[in-house]
Amino acid sequence: MRHIIAIIILAGFIVACDRVERPERISSAGYEAFCETLREIRRTENKFSEVPNELFGHTENLKRLYEVSPDEIAEDLLALYTTFSDTRDSEDTDTLRGFQALSDTKLAGQ
């Protein structure tokens, strides 16, 4: 019985360690920092165009926005960041599950 429990705990750690690290959020950044970050993303040339995984740039931008996000949208941005990161890092058929998560209506607040 102890062996089974140890295996379950180990499996949990493996899954947890495989997930993307949660970015740090600057909760005091305010709306101005968020809007400035969004403007900067829009006006900056795509610096990830050489990266073969197209989700890499999207994930980095979501991370930057989450770090300075207002409280009202922080959890939504974190959910998007985590989903995009998981999809970016997935392999083979795991990618399909990632895209299913991206089409989840909960991401649109429904």
pLDDT of 47 reads 76
CA 73 to CA 69: how far, in whole Å?
Answer: 7
Segments in 1-110 forming alpha helices (H) = 2-18, 30-43, 55-67, 71-89, 94-102
CA 20 to CA 110: how far, in whole Å?
Answer: 25
**Residue 58 DSSP code:** H
CA 64 to CA 14: how far, in whole Å?
Answer: 27
pLDDT of 96 reads 67
**Residue 106 DSSP code:** G
Q: Which residues of the chain fall below pLDDT 70?
A: 1-20, 92-102, 107-110
| Identity at 15, one-letter amino acid code | V
- Give the residue from 11, 102, 108, 110 showing the smallest Cα distance to 59: 102
